[in-house]
A = this chain, B = another copy of it.
């Protein structure tokens, strides 16, 4: 056993990002506040899983959910400070992908 235990903070961060769609939701919200349907059609995820992910992320303090009592009601999702701080991660993935992923 070379590494009997991996840093739990790192492990938690990785497990967050290892969930399908998490990265794209954050990426999308880095462009600003968005509504449920906007997110759904922008990233092509099912309503069910988007709903799950947004709950996860809200619970982790990464996403903020705001109910605006317009009619019909508007629900806006945005990143908290913690969520915005993940831009550094998204950036590094983005720049790596530009350098190393070949087209088609």
A residues sitting closer than 8 Å to B (CB atoms) are 1-4, 6-14, 17-24, 27-28, 31, 34, 38, 41-43, 82, 85-86, 88-89, 91-101, 103
Contacts and interface: CB of A to CB of B under 8 A. Distances in A.
In the complex, the count of this chain's copies comes to 2
A67 B88 CA distance: 37
B2 A93 contact: no
A79 to B, nearest CB: 12
Contacts of A98: 9-10
Contact of A3 (B4, B31, B86): B31
A93 B89 contact: yes
Given A89-B89, A97-B10, A20 B18 contact: yes
A48 to B, nearest CB: 17
Nearest to A12: B101
